[in-house]
Structure formats: structure tokens, C-alpha cells
């Protein structure tokens, strides 16, 4: 079987994306020292994070994880312009793994113009240059991995900065590192040397090969569903879609009822046992009512006792599954040449 042949895996995974995935639990120990962390204690009335792709994903995880703890609104901006309300009482966090994302650089310039409180997360590039030049609070991320595989680094940096500015408690930063060994143990079950018969990640990849994936999450698992879509796009080089319940039941739910019945999709429900009871019920009822109208869903029950454990477990699994899918597709999961070409064309 292709996924049990280590020589085939090595041939297609020439850049060792599986090795990078296996090292991600260690990212939860990233110290994330804040440079220029001193600030003037001005009241912060809202937090805005400017970031794209994987750099925005960590913010989505935090927004969902800590929504009942944060006492100020937290908005994520994935475009060029900041909201008009951004002012001196706004904390603007500019996040870009490369430090050269043009949308995020534009957001930083606007934040400077409006006198906002500012922080930066990047591994280098123009954002770190600007942070050093203007003495802006910043965390330098370790370099050398694809941004989508550095989400745990980004998460640690973001929470550290939010602690620095008094938005969340220090215990949340420590909570992330406390799960490092558990994540290592869990993800070892998905390693290449574990055969298909006992390897959940390989089994999910086999289920999805040759189909377009659709990922559904609930209120708590929506960011994880989005992560699966990102991993599918960038690792497996496959189109994928995602949505969340209960919104799904108010529109997209009906979209499945039209013919043809035999649709070339792999549908995944990403479930947390911490979800609102009515949302869990919606997953069950939706599957029952759509029986025969769409492919039977594959349910992914997230492991972990806490929400952040479940989020990181699900995010890590997404990388493993999509890397195995890339191998089934006969491609190297690491390069994203078309994105690089797009950036060159835009510049």
C-alpha cells in the first residue's frame, strides 16, 4: 500500500513535511520573549489583529478559546485596511510569519498613522525592521518552516503579547506549553512507520483521495475546520471548503438537496464534546435529514479535555492527513510556488 511504503513517502515528501509536522508539539514551548514590551498603560478598548492565512489562524483559535475571558472586542482583519474605529485606545497586532505580507504591512502603517498601541509578530522581514526602528513591542518567530506549519509558534507569540498588554492572564500562556508531551504522544500514532490499519491520519487521507473535501465545525471548532481547509489547499494542493453550524443550517444545508445525489465530495464533521448541546444535536439531525442526498459524513471527534487541547490536536491532525493526501496525489506537500509567483507579480 502506497502510504505504508516509506520509500514512496520519502520520494514525494522530499522536504520532510512529516518531520516538520512531528516537531510542531515542541513549538508549544516557544519562549516568545517580547522585545520593547514596555508600554504606557493606556486603556485598551479593543484589539485588532492584522494577518493573513496561517498568521490569522492563531488569532481565530485565540478568539474562540478565550472569548469568555477577554473583556474587550477582538477583531481579525484579513485585508489591507483597518476598521475606522482604530485609534489610540486600540491594540493593533500586525502578524505575518515572513514579515513581508503586504496587507499586514499596510495595516501596520495605518496603525502608526492613527497612534494606536502596536505589537508585531514575525520571523523577520519589513515588519521586524519597522518594529526595531520604531521601538514597537514585538516577538521574533523562529524561521525556516512554512507559515501554515508554524501556527503553534504564532499562537504562543500572540498570547504572550496579549499577556504583556493585560488582555489575558499569564496562566493561558502556560496552558499552551503544558500540552507539549501529550501532543507528541498523540501525534506519534500518525507517524509514517505506523501502518494504515492502525493510523487514523492515513485512513482519513484514503477516505478523501480523489474527492473535494468539505469541513464543517461548530461554534468551538470552526477555526479548526478552517485549518483543515488551509492544510488541504497548501499541503495537498486540493480545493476544499468549510462552514460552521448553526449557520450551515440556514442556507448551505439546503444546497445539498439538489441532484445529482452522487456527489464527488468527502464531507467531514469536526466535533467537540464541549460544544453547545443544540449544536451537537444539529450535526446529528443534519446528517439524518441529508441521508442519501450527500455522501455520508466522516466524523472527527477531537481528543483532549480542554478546548485548546482539542484545537491543537485537530490542527496537528489536519497537517498529517493533508500531507498523506499530497503523497497519494503524487506531489511534494511543502512548496507553494504559485503563491510565491503571485507575490512576485503583485510586487
Q: What is the pLDDT of residues 58-102, one digit of tens each?
A: 999 999 999 999 999 999 999 999 999 999 999 999 999 999 999
Mean of all residue pLDDT scores within the chain: 94
Using alpha carbons only, how large is the chain's radius of gyration in Å? 20
d(CA 157, CA 134): 19
Kindly indicate the confidence band of residue 262, based on its pLDDT and cuts at 50, 70 and 90. confident
d(CA 336, CA 340): 7
Is 343 in the active site?
Answer: yes
Q: List the 117-122 sheet strands across, edge first.
A: 74-77, 46-50, 90-95, 117-122, 137-140
Catalytic position from the list 234, 244, 275, 309 = 234
Query: Once rounded to an integer, what is the mean pLDDT over residues 276-286?
Result: 97
Q: Write 287-293 long-range contacts (CB < 8 A, 24+).
A: 290/253, 290/256, 290/257, 292/261, 293/256, 293/257, 293/261
Q: What is the pLDDT of residues 302-326, one digit of tens each?
A: 999 999 999 999 999 999 999 999 9
Q: How many CA atoms lie within 13 A of 82 on its CB side?
A: 29
Percentage of the chain exceeding pLDDT 90: 89
Q: If you search the block for the grid coordinates 516577538, which residue do you land on?
A: 139
Catalytic position from the list 67, 71, 281, 343 = 343
Q: What is the pLDDT of residues 151-190, one digit of tens each?
A: 999 999 999 999 999 999 999 999 999 999 999 999 999 9
Extract the C-alpha cell encoding 87: 485609534
Q: What is the pLDDT of residue 329?
A: 95
Nearest-5° Cα angle at 285, 279 to 289 = 145
- What secondary structure letter does DSSP report for 336? -
* Sign of the dihedral defined by the CA atoms of residues 97, 319, 306, 296, in that order: positive
Is 234 in the active site?
Answer: yes
Is 250 in the active site?
Answer: yes
Kindly indicate the confidence band of residue 1, based on its pLDDT and cuts at 50, 70 and 90. confident
Domains and CATH numbers, the chain: 2-16+181-328 (3.40.50.10490), 29-178 (3.40.50.10490)
Extract the C-alpha cell encoding 194: 505506523
Q: What is the pLDDT of residue 341?
A: 74
CB atoms within 10 A of CB 203: 17
Catalytic position from the list 133, 250, 259, 288 = 250
Amino acid at each position: 500500500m502506497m502510504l505504508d511504503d516509506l520509500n514512496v513517502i520519502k520520494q514525494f515528501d522530499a522536504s520532510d513535511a512529516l518531520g516538520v509536522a512531528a516537531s510542531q508539539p515542541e513549538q508549544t514551548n516557544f519562549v516568545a520573549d517580547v522585545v520593547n514590551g514596555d508600554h504606557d498603560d493606556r486603556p485598551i478598548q479593543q484589539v485588532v489583529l492584522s494577518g493573513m492565512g496561517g498568521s490569522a489562524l492563531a488569532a481565530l483559535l485565540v478568539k474562540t478559546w478565550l472569548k469568555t475571558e477577554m473583556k474587550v472586542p477582538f477583531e481579525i482583519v484579513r485585508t489591507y485596511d483597518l476598521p475606522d474605529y482604530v485609534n489610540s485606545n486600540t491594540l493593533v497586532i500586525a502578524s505575518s510569519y515572513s514579515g513581508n505580507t503586504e496587507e499586514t504591512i499596510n495595516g501596520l502603517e495605518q496603525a502608526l498613522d492613527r497612534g494606536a498601541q502596536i505589537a508585531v509578530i514575525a520571523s523577520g522581514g519589513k515588519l521586524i525592521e519597522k518594529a526595531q526602528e520604531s521601538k514597537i513591542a514585538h516577538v521574533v518567530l523562529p524561521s525556516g518552516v512554512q507559515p501554515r506549519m508554524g501556527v503553534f509558534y504564532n499562537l504562543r507569540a500572540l498570547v504572550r503579547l496579549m499577556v504583556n498588554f493585560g488582555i489575558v492572564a499569564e496562566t493561558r500562556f502556560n496552558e499552551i506549553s503544558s500540552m507539549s508531551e501529550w501532543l507528541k504522544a498523540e501525534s506519534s500514532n500518525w507517524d509514517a512507520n505506523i501502518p494504515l490499519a492502525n493510523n487514523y491520519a492515513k485512513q482519513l487521507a484514503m477516505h478523501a483521495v480523489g474527492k473535494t473535501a468539505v469541513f464543517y465545525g461548530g461554534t468551538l471548532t470552526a477555526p479548526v475546520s478552517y485549518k483543515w481547509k488551509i492544510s488541504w489547499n497548501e499541503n495537498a494542493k486540493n480545493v476544499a471548503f468549510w462552514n460552521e453550524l448553526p449557520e450551515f443550517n440556514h442556507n448551505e444545508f439546503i444546497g445539498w438537496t439538489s441532484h445529482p445525489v452522487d456527489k464527488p465530495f468527502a464531507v467531514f464533521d469536526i466535533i467537540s464534546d464541549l460544544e453547545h448541546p443544540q449544536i451537537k444535536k444539529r450535526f446529528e439531525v443534519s446528517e439524518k435529514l441529508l441521508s442519501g442526498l450527500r455522501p455520508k459524513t466522516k466524523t472527527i471527534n477531537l481528543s483532549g479535555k480542554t478546548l485548546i487541547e482539542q484545537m491543537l490536536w485537530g490542527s496537528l491532525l489536519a497537517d498529517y492527513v493533508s500531507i498523506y493526501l499530497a503523497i497519494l496525489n503524487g506531489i511534494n506537500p511543502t512548496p507553494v510556488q504559485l503563491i510565491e509567483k503571485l507575490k512576485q507579480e503583485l510586487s
